[in-house]
Amino acid sequence: MELKEYLQIIKNNLWLFILTTIIVIMAVFAYFYLSPISYSTSLTLNVSRQGVQNTDQFKYDDFYRLQADEKFVETIVQWLQDPRIVTDIYNSAGIDTKNFSLRQLEKSFTPEKLSSQMITVNFSTSNAKTAEKISGAIISVISKTNQDLNKDQKEDTWFEIVPQDPIILQYKPDFKLVLLGSVLAGMFLAFWVVMLKHYLS
- pLDDT per residue over 24-37, tens digit each? 999 998 888 787 78
Return the HEC string of 20-36: HHHHHHHHHHHHHHCCC
Contact, 80 vs 138, CB < 8 A?
A: yes
Nearest to 92 by CA among 132, 139, 137, 135: 137
Of 105 and 69, more confident: 105
pTM for the full predicted model: 0.69
Distance in angstroms (rounded) separating the CA atoms of residues 183 and 189: 10
- Greatest Cα pair distance, the chain, in angstroms, is 88
Confidence class for position 88, pLDDT limits 50, 70, 90 = very high
Q: How many CB atoms lie within 10 A of CB 191?
A: 16
Nearest Cα neighbor of 108 from 97, 92, 117, 94 is 97
All domains of the chain in start order, with CATH: 3-35+174-200 (no CATH), 39-170 (3.30.70.1130)
* Predicted confidence band of residue 178 (pLDDT cuts 50, 70, 90): confident
Three-state DSSP state, 185 = helix
Q: Distance between CA 125 and CA 108 in Å, rounded?
A: 10
- The packing angle between helices 128-149 and 83-92, to 10°, is 120
